[in-house]
Structure formats: structure tokens, C-alpha cells
């Protein structure tokens, strides 16, 4: 008898495929999720073990090796003609028989293809050949994988409880360091640069909070902008190298006011041609008072999830003196966990937080507790089909009382 659950998934795949053909938002992500459900319904335990514990770890190891040898870049540059595996092996200094075995597995994992005696790039491998993705592979393999592998030993050691400090978690055990995650990244270059590339890559190709249909930028930010209150339309706090703000400026041409990018000095120093950027890039520590007063909005993309409730509250507290009551908005672009329908994107990021920063992703109730505890109030939570992240819009809970005469 056919697997009835699989049959139901196949029906959903067909209807979702039609939605994808017609460009319906979220349909691509739904197809991927349904495909995972289909595999889970069909796969037997031995196949699950082979894929999860052999095939996928081996693939990640091969991709890490490919970064050092620029294999994906060479295949990308070869174009549709592809490359002879023996000639490529000789060029990069790898034994031909070993090289063929490694590449054969990447073909089996659909990262590459093989035909007419040659290895060929794919759309996926060409994307992974870009510098940010190459550095992301380095970060994920060198930093995150050891932490995940250390979960069993770490949690056994601490009695199977969640971390409560910034420097005693799976990451600290894996790297034998007392330093918190970000301090260790800064102290061990080029990890902080690789992390910045990872964050840029993590966001690439996904819906942005300022896209049409996600958050109403024109109605909520641009309309009502008042330069007499503050010259900045938008301040991106902890915004990396400006990936979000460059896209915001391109998508909302003719916007009033300034766009300000803030991050650590080391990250800001990586931005090329600062004067030609559509934003003002400045170094700022978000544990100190916000220096840009009276901006229309302050955006924090995946910032508070890096910190526990106490530190998250401090970050929000340092924004408050800069906020104009009834005018300034705080925009938190964050995952809002669902207990009923958790997504792989949300739970895998929660595991990233557990493994490296000893913190967590939060439910809506948890977010409201932190935001309201910092003296702000949630105006609305905006969601978009297929996006793991939501946009939480907040403002000062109440206007500052006028001084008594």
C-alpha cells in the first residue's frame, strides 16, 4: 500500500509548484519544505543515517577543501565546457584518483555535474564560488561544525542544562577558550571577517524587511519624515558592511534624509570606497548611547538574538535617549519562533545560538517581554511568506512627560 502521507505531500507539491511557476511569494521555500517532508516520509532509517552522518558531513568537508584549492572558481571560469578531472587535479596539485573520488561525491550531492568525461559547474556551485560564500564555507566548517560536534560531551558535562554565561558553552569547550564568541572571533583573524561574509551570505536572496509587501516603508517611514527632528531617515545598528542599507537605498530611490550604517571599527574598515556608498558608515558600540538623535527609524537586523535578555535590554536602553516620542521607530528584523510550526531555518539558527553564543531565538511572547521591559511597546509584527525572519516595529512606550512649571 502506498504511503498515504507521501501521496498527500505529492499533491501539495503539485499545487505549490503551480504557485511557484506564477511567482507566488513563499512558494519556493514551501517547495523546499515539502521536498524535505517527502524525503522524511520515504526514507528508511538506514538511508537517513547514511545521508545525515556520512553523505552530508563528507560534502561539507569536500567543499572546505575546495575553498583552499579554488575548485569551484576554476569550474565557474571554465563555463559550460567544464574541465577534465585529471587535468584539473594536476593543475591544483591533487592526486588524480583522490580528486575524482572527492568530486564524484559532490556530483552525487548535486553540487556539480559530470558528462562527456568532464566535471561541470552548476548554478549552485557558481553561487558558492563567490567570495562571500567561500569565506562562509570557511566559517561554517572551521568554527560552527566543531561546536555542534561538541554538543553531546558539553551537555553531559554540565548536566544537560542550557548555558547561563557567555563563555561556558559548546563553542568554549570545542575551542578550549574562556573568551565569548565574538571576542574569540576578533582575537583570531580572519574569523571576524569570515563571519561578516557569512552574515551577508545568510541574508542574500531572501526577502528583505523593506521589500514591497513586507513592511510598508513609504507609509511608516518616508511619509512623516521630519528633517527638523533629525537628519537621519534610517540608522542600521550593527549593520555589517552595509549590505542591507545598499539594497534599501537602491529599492527606495529618492528617499529623504540620511542612511547611517553602524558597526564595529574592524567591520567598518572593510568597506571599500566609503564615499561612494549610499550610506554614512561610522563605528559605534551599541552598548553605548546611540549618537544619532531623532532618526525616523533604528534598524537592528539579527542583533538582539546574539545576546541574552539582559544584554538585549541594555542594547535597547541605549537606543531610548535618541528616540523621539511618537516619531522614532525601532525595527527589529528577527526570527519569531513558532511552537506549532517551527521551520528548519528558525530552529537551525536557534541551534547556532545555543552552540556558539549560549543564547536563543525567541517566541513572540518572549520578544514582547524584552521589548516592554526596556520601556518600549510593540506596534506590530510584520511577516512575509517564506521568510524565517519577521519585522517587529516598536516605539517608546509613552511620551516623556512635560516638565512641571
Domains in the chain, CATH or no CATH each: 4-128 (1.10.10.10), 131-203 (no CATH), 217-396 (3.40.50.150)
Q: What is the pLDDT of residue 401?
A: 41
Q: What is the pLDDT of residue 2?
A: 55
Burial tier of 119 (Cβ tally within 10 Å: 0-12, 13-18, 19+): buried
Q: Which residue has the cell 577534465?
A: 84
As a whole number of angstroms, the distance between CA 226 and CA 150 comes to: 52
Burial tier of 378 (Cβ tally within 10 Å: 0-12, 13-18, 19+): middle
Q: What is the pLDDT of residue 266?
A: 86
As a whole number of angstroms, the distance between CA 40 and CA 89 comes to: 37
Q: What is the pLDDT of residue 243?
A: 86
Selecting among 105, 305, 311, 366, the annotated active-site residue is: 305
- Residues belonging to the chain: 405
Low-confidence ranges of the chain (pLDDT < 50): 1, 400-405
As a whole number of angstroms, the distance between CA 54 and CA 76 comes to: 27
Answer yes or no: are the C-beta atoms of 236 and 261 closer than 8 Å: yes
Nearest C-alpha neighbor of 213 from the set 6, 339, 24, 18: 24
Nearest C-alpha neighbor of 3 from the set 52, 40, 35: 40
Answer yes or no: are the C-beta atoms of 364 and 194 closer than 8 Å: no
Q: Is 305 a catalytic residue?
A: yes
Q: What is the pLDDT of residue 402?
A: 39
Task: Please report the DSSP string for 330-352 in residue order.
Answer: EEEEEEEE-SSS--HHHHHHHHH
Q: What is the pLDDT of residue 204?
A: 82
Amino acid at each position: 500500500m502506498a504511503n498515504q502521507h507521501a501521496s498527500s505531500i505529492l499533491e501539495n507539491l503539485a499545487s505549490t509548484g503551480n504557485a511557484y511557476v506564477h511567482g507566488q511569494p513563499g512558494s519556493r521555500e514551501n517547495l523546499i519544505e515539502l521536498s524535505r517532508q517527502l524525503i522524511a516520509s520515504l526514507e528508511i532509517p538506514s538511508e537517513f543515517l547514511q545521508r545525515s552522518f556520512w553523505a552530508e558531513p563528507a560534502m561539507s568537508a569536500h567543499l572546505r577543501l575546495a575553498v583552499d584549492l579554488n575548485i569551484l572558481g576554476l569550474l565557474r571560469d571554465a563555463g559550460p565546457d567544464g574541465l577534465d578531472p585529471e587535468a584539473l587535479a594536476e593543475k591544483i596539485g591533487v592526486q588524480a584518483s583522490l580528486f575524482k573520488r572527492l568530486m564524484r561525491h559532490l556530483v552525487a550531492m548535486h553540487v556539480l555535474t559530470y558528462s562527456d568525461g568532464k566535471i561541470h559547474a552548476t548554478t549552485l556551485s557558481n553561487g558558492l564560488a563567490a567570495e562571500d560564500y567561500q569565506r562562509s564555507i570557511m566559517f561554517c566548517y572551521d568554527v560552527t561544525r566543531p561546536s555542534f560536534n561538541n554538543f553531546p560531551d558539553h551537555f553531559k558535562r554540565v548536566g544537560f542544562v542550557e548555558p547561563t554565561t557567555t563563555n561556558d558553552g559548546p563553542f568554549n569547550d570545542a575551542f578550549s577558550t574562556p573568551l565569548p564568541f565574538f571576542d574569540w572571533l576578533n582575537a583570531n583573524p580572519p574569523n571576524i571577517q569570515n563571519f561578516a561574509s557569512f552574515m551577508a551570505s545568510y541574508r542574500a536572496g531572501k526577502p528583505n524587511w523593506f521589500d514591497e509587501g513586507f513592511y510598508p516603508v513609504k507609509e511608516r517611514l518616508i511619509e512623516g519624515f521630519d528633517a527638523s527632528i533629525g537628519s537621519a531617515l534610517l540608522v542600521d545598528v550593527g549593520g555589517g558592511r552595509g549590505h542591507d542599507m545598499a539594497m534599501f537605498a537602491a529599492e527606495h530611490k529618492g528617499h529623504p534624509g540620511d542612511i547611517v550604517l553602524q558597526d564595529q571599527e574592524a567591520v567598518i574598515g572593510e568597506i571599500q570606497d566609503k564615499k561612494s556608498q549610499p550610506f554614512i558608515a561610522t563605528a559605534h558600540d551599541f552598548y553605548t548611547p546611540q549618537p544619532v538623535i531623532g532618526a525616523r527609524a533604528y534598524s537592528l537586523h539579527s542583533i538582539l538574538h546574539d545576546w541574552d535578555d539582559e544584554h538585549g535590554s541594555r542594547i535597547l536602553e541605549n537606543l531610548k535617549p535618541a528616540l523621539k516620542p511618537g516619531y522614532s521607530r525601532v525595527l527589529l528584523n528577527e526570527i519569531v519562533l513558532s511552537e506549532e510550526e517551527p521551520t528548519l531555518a528558525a530552529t537551525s539558527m536557534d541551534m547556532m545560538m545555543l552552540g556558539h553564543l549560549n543564547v536563543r531565538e525567541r517566541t513572540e511572547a518572549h520578544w514582547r517581554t524584552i521589548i516592554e521591559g526596556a520601556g518600549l511597546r510593540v506596534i506590530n509584527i510584520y511577516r512575509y511568506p517564506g521568510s524565517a525572519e519577521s519585522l517587529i516595529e516598536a516605539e517608546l512606550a509613552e511620551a516623556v512627560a512635560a516638565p512641571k512649571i
